Structure 1
Amino acid sequence: MKTKSNILFLFILCVLFHISITGLYAQDNSNKFVVVLDAGHGGKDPGKPSKDGYKEKDIALKIALEVGKELEKNPDIKVVYTRKTDVFVDLFRRGKIANEAKADLFVSIHCNAHHTQAYGSETYVLGINRNDTNFNVAKAENEVIYLEDDYEKNYEGFDPNSPGSFIGLTLMQEEYLDQSILLASLIQDNFTNSLKRKNRGVKQAGFIVLHQTIMPSVLIETGFITNKQEGPYLNSSKGQKEMSTAIEKAILDYKHTIYQNIDNFVYQESKVVALENPKPAEIYKNVVFKVQIAASSREIELKPFNFKGLEDITRDKINGLYKYYYGYTSDYNQIKDFQQYAKSKGYPSSFIVAYREGKIIPLDEALKSTTN
């Protein structure tokens, strides 16, 4: 009887240990920056054609896997793939994967094609653009839905051939447009400055795969597989490595910019030291000054341990970003003291912002107003 009790005790202990470890693992993942990499096309959908036999679906997959391999070297980043092999994935399913992962970014990787010797890289965000070229690029990508079962049901009557169908696409992504444009710009800058690729710019078009996501999202056309020089480059190990490195670096730069001053911090109790010779008050009528210390696409609990011991933190959501502020005063000299203190606590890039009637105004405009 005693033996059975011991076995039961050990079993319960193992279960509790497993639950504890699982909980810790889940908590660790929840704090990670999640990037969903979407290799365009796949399986029965080869993507854009090339007379030289280059396959868009293969090139896109190899670049996506290489980007992911490098990103996964960062312990605070979790990578999710919409596909890791040559399989067909419905467009709506790609977005669902990203949404279920609660991703911070969705990056869809493709190759371009044209009947001329067009070349260069371009990155798209979701938007309505009357430009026929942009519409045709999106149309070519969106026609993949015809390969899907029940596409009429899954896309509620969306017609890739009708410009009118695109009007409703931007509503879901509107909140993340600024962030999507930021990432797209970083990607294009890397292609241009690091790889000396022709920059075809950041563009807006109605890509259905971007419409399915509820986070900052971009679609990269890495280059033209129909171009005599660019096709072989994109199909080569060297080209795929260089393109993936440029994309990876842009994602890391984006993360650093968006997660401005947000990091893991062990809270230690501290006291504010009063200034020995405080400056006279410099009060501005109808103006409130704050110190912006951080920005994040995630909502962070307003506790001192999340902000290096700083108390009385406030938060605003602006264009899809949560911005965090320290201090609240109409005294400009006092807010400068708050800024210096924030810098001493580990926020070297903190800066002063001004509000009038609840709206942010340029700091120089606030300082031109009358003091008491």
Structure 2
Amino acid sequence: MKRDSFKYLRLILISTLCFISFTSKAGNFVVVIDPGHGGKDPGARGTSALEKTINLAVSLKLGELIESNHRDVKVVYTRKTDRFIELDERANIANRNKADLFISIHTNALKNKTVSGTETYTLGLGAGRTDENLEIAMRENSAILLEDNYEQKYEGFNPNSSESYIIFEFMQNKFMEQSIEFASHIQKGFARKNRTNRGVRQAGFLVLRKTTMPSVLVELGYISNRSEEQYLRSNSGQSELAHAIYTAFDKHKREHDRKAGSAQTTNRSDAPDTARSNFARSNGQTSSRNNTSTSVAQSSRTSKTRASKAKTYKVQILTSNRKLPKGSSRLKGYSNVDYYVEKNIYKYTYGSTESYNEILKLWRKVRKDFKDAFIITFDAD
């Protein structure tokens, strides 16, 4: 009887150890959330709010959402309080923790106080080639001026010199495609919250330069716009923005799990919708946006079907508040131009391919005529 009891205890012990071994793998997906600025670096200033405060509030809300709904994810913050962190140390934190995703949260500002809306940036791709993108990158990168020996640390980079941004021209890494895709998810999330969608853009942000994982820099809105500043500083506004980013993270994580063959069936009370864009074709029909609810637990058949559907890349070249006539001078002689409609705005695109390398080549060609052109991604139908 004692021998049977001993065997029974051994089985319990082995089972317990196996359980501990399994649960210790929880947190094998690491996301680093980076609240921009902090401490002696206030970031952009509004009439009554500071960028660093807004960034931190939204970042903490985002982290709480991820931790509450994804028990297998480890959330790491570059800061959780009002303190100054050097730009290269922010990237180092992500690299040391072997992060799978890096999200830098910022609040925008421009001299033009009428501008409003959200945008999400990735690194490189002709960074700083537009005046607006350059102004934003210069402001965000100016934080290094508060660091000791920044000339040596950043190899002579001068955040206030447009010539310095040439180094970002062809700076890319193997995670660029994933970064652009995740950035597109974020912008779709903002659009569903009725925020003005200013698209996915590219610029030379130092904080993204040395990260070795998919990385984005999110601009939540314009603190220089008085109306938007009030939204950004409100608890409800911050919660909405955090949830919009969370829905993008949730989609990215589920895609990551599917590709890894380990789709999670975590209990989430607010599984987000997946926005799909239907393009207008040559017949001139306007497009519509359909939200398709995606179930949390997916069958293997559904997973295989979705896995076979590739992303579509296009280059957005311009927008208009009305439909342009055929042969419009604004299209500069380009044919086979497509468009889709979002919030009564006609958004014109050129090219369509499932190859990131092909769209990158096309983008470099198109930007000679459309300096503000950028790459966008869409889910397959």
Would the TM-score normalized by the shorter structure come out above 0.5?
yes
1:253 to 251, 254, 259: 251
Q: Which residue of 2 aligns with 1:122?
A: 119
Report the Cα distance in structure 2 between the residues aligned to 1:72 and 1:105, rounded to whole angstroms: 15
Q: Which residue of 2 aligns with 1:167?
A: 166
The 5 Å alignment of 1:52-67 reads 52-67=47-62
The 5 Å alignment of 1:1-372 reads 24=21, 28-29=25-26, 32-50=28-46, 52-73=47-68, 74-115=70-111, 116-127=113-124, 128-129=126-127, 130-169=129-168, 173-192=172-191, 194-264=192-262, 347-351=304-308
- Displacement after TM superposition at 1:173 (Å): 3.8
The one-letter code of the counterpart of 1:104 is D
Shift in alpha-carbon separation, 1:71–1:242, aligned structure 2, 3 A: same
- Displacement after TM superposition at 1:343 (Å): 5.5
Report the TM-score, using the length of structure 2 for normalisation. 0.62
Whether contact under 8 Å (2:65, 2:246) holds in the other structure is yes
After alignment, is 92-101 or 250-259 more displaced?
A: 250-259
Q: Which 5+ residue runs of structure 1 have no aligned equivalent? A: 1-19, 266-341, 354-360, 363-372
Whether contact under 8 Å (2:109, 2:136) holds in the other structure is no
Whether contact under 8 Å (1:82, 1:97) holds in the other structure is yes
User: Could you say what the CA RMSD is over the residues aligned between the two structures, in angstroms?
Assistant: 2.9
Report the TM-score, using the length of structure 1 for normalisation. 0.64
Report the Cα distance in structure 2 between the residues aligned to 1:258 and 1:40, rounded to whole angstroms: 26
Whether contact under 8 Å (1:44, 1:88) holds in the other structure is yes
- Displacement after TM superposition at 1:172 (Å): 6.1
After alignment, is 114-123 or 78-87 more displaced?
A: 114-123
The one-letter code of the counterpart of 1:212 is K
- Displacement after TM superposition at 1:118 (Å): 1.1
The one-letter code of the counterpart of 2:247 is K
Report the Cα distance in structure 1 between the residues aligned to 2:25 and 2:170, rounded to whole angstroms: 32
Report the Cα distance in structure 2 between the residues aligned to 1:56 and 1:352, rounded to whole angstroms: 39
Whether contact under 8 Å (2:109, 2:224) holds in the other structure is yes
- Displacement after TM superposition at 1:260 (Å): 2.4
Q: C-alpha offsets along residues 128-151 of structure 1, whole Å, 9 cap, x if unaligned?
A: 231111011001000110001121
Report the Cα distance in structure 1 between the residues aligned to 2:23 and 2:150, rounded to whole angstroms: 35
Q: Which secondary structure state, in structure 2, belongs to the residue aligned with residue 201 of structure 1?
A: strand
| Structure (1 or 2) with the larger CA radius of gyration | 1
Q: C-alpha offsets along residues 292-312 of structure 1, whole Å, 9 cap, x if unaligned?
A: xxxxxxxxxxxxxxxxxxxxx
Q: Which secondary structure state, in structure 1, belongs to the residue aligned with residue 85 of structure 2?
A: coil
Q: Which 5+ residue runs of structure 2 have no aligned equivalent? A: 1-16, 264-298, 311-353, 356-381
Report the Cα distance in structure 2 between the residues aligned to 1:59 and 1:38, rounded to whole angstroms: 12
Percent identity among equivalent residues? Answer: 45
Shift in alpha-carbon separation, 1:68–1:170, aligned structure 2, 3 A: farther
Shift in alpha-carbon separation, 1:44–1:258, aligned structure 2, 3 A: same
Whether contact under 8 Å (2:58, 2:242) holds in the other structure is yes
Shift in alpha-carbon separation, 1:221–1:350, aligned structure 2, 3 A: closer
Report the Cα distance in structure 2 between the residues aligned to 1:251 and 1:346, rounded to whole angstroms: 18
Q: Which secondary structure state, in structure 2, belongs to the residue aligned with residue 28 of structure 1?
A: coil
Shift in alpha-carbon separation, 1:226–1:259, aligned structure 2, 3 A: same
Whether contact under 8 Å (1:173, 1:215) holds in the other structure is no
Q: Which secondary structure state, in structure 2, belongs to the residue aligned with residue 197 of structure 1?
A: coil
- Displacement after TM superposition at 1:242 (Å): 0.3
Q: C-alpha offsets along residues 222-247 of structure 1, whole Å, 9 cap, x if unaligned?
A: 00112122111110000000000000
